[in-house]
Structure 1
Amino acid sequence: MTETGVRAADRLAAERAMLDRTSTAERVAWVLRQRITEGVYEPGERLSEGPIVDDLDVSRNTVREAFRLLSHERLLVHELNRGVFVRRLTAADVTDLYRLRRLVECAAVRQAAGSSPDGLAALREAVHAAERAAAEGRWEDVGTANMGFHRAVVALAGSERLDQMMRQTLAELRLVFLAMRNPRAFHEPYLARNREILGRLTEGDAEGAARLLEGYLAEAERQLVEAHS
């Protein structure tokens, strides 16, 4: 089995184990959301009930309910007589997502002054994961690790509701990032920026980290709006 096949098998085993604990539509939606976040499903891709039923060993009604939940989250769209598809986002969607990110992420960083070393551990691990993936030329994995960094940024706020909102936002962002046909050119410049933000937070300079993050998000938004236009 190839390395990609091993990773897919490991992911499927983990997904089934999670569903064994609570086999509900919400849990299936969680799995499908993760697949979107990890780039397993691409924008415009049609999702068939059958393979998901077989993969996760759940009923068709459960899968349909999960589709409905993800449609409410703007990740999937139902087209009459055609089926369920992963959404394609527009430039307006990008602008709206980045407006939300600036409000939430920069506020989370600003209130992180004095965070304990443990509070920054998830940020540090995300930085290391992205750098390892870059060294091995795994640029889609760099994008996944980068999203982990931003999820950890929001986690600094200590809010379960914000964490949940960020998971949905990151799934939409994966759809946005897939418009960038050269993932290395897009993700590589942000490796150093993530490490610099982490460094500022480690030094206790939350305001400096927030200013860096604001500039970072503005630049990313500009690139993505151009790609979606």
Structure 2
Amino acid sequence: MNHDSSLVNRLTDRLIAGELRPGERLSETALAKEFDVSRNTLREAFRVLGEQGLVTHIPHRGVSVASPSTADVVDIYRVRHHVECSVLEHAPRNHPNAVQMEAAVEAAERFAAEENWLEVGTANMAFHNAVVSLSDSRRLMQSFSNVLAELRLAFLKVEVLDFLHAPFISRNKEVIEVYRTEGSAAAAKILGAYLGDSERQVLGAYARAGQD
């Protein structure tokens, strides 16, 4: 992995963790110092993130974190349906990465008990990342991390984290239980319904907040 791609991955991880918020201005000087890279290296990372829809560059105003639109949310969920449900449907029941799904749910439950909804969201991202890891495809995992980063920005844009995440902890558990007991196809069907409900909730939150 070269220096530029490593920096892109680190910045993407920050987006997934909710550490960078929609519309936030990104300081070249501060980030170059923090990551100990040249400004040219940072600008190249910004260019890649811009192509991925994660940052926007406005001439004479610099680079800001992207702010997903309603159309973006619809497309994000379209990709999630295709990728997550397909991967889960074809996953062997005894795939070792299933323990990562279980660990993510356990983490979400701990953070929910503390009412730390930002971290509940991060644990939820880890759950869905673990679902895609059942594919054993590094390339698919890399592309899906961009989807998760955009999804996290959409969640942060409406800022009702408990409303968005609380109902889905038990539904993540249900996906695992069905996967373990009834098999991959049944779990994929449950996940498909779950993602449909999640999409409707996010779009409803956008509408109430007056987002485009």
Spell out, residue by residue over 1:32-73, the C-alpha distance to the aligned partner (whole angstroms, 9 max, x if none). Answer: 111111111100011011111111111111111111110011
Q: Does 1:65 align with 2:44?
A: yes
> What is the deviation of 1:180?
3.0
Aligned to 2:203: 225
Q: Contact conserved, 1:33 with 1:168, CA < 8 A, in 2?
A: yes
Give the unaligned 5+ runs of structure 1. Answer: 1-21
Matched residue type, 1:190 = F
Identity %: 42
The DSSP-based 3-state class of the residue aligned with 1:174 is helix
Q: Which one of 42, 47, 53 corresponds to residue 21 of structure 2? A: 42
Pick one of 128, 140, 154 that aligns with 1:176.
Answer: 154
User: Aligned partners of 1:33, 1:169: CA distance in 2, in Å?
Assistant: 10
Give me the TM-score of the superposition, normalised by structure 2. 0.93
Task: Provide the aligned length of Structure 1 versus Structure 2.
Answer: 207
Secondary structure of the equivalent of 1:178? helix
What letter is aligned with 1:119?
Answer: N
Aligned counterpart, 1:125: 103
Task: Note the C-alpha offset of 1:140.
Answer: 0.6
TM alignment of 1:1-229, pairs within 5 A: 24-116=3-95, 118-229=96-207
Partner deviation per Cα, 1:130-184 (whole Å, 9 max, x = no partner): 1111111111100000010000101111111111111111011111111232211
- What TM-score comes out, normalization by structure 1 length? 0.87
Shift of 1:204: 4.2
Q: Which one has more relative contact order, counting CA pairs under 8 Å at least 6 apart?
A: 2
* Cα-to-partner distance string for 1:160-213 (whole Å, 9 max, x where unaligned): 111111111101111111123221121000000000101111114222211111
Give the aligned CA root-mean-square deviation in angstroms: 1.3
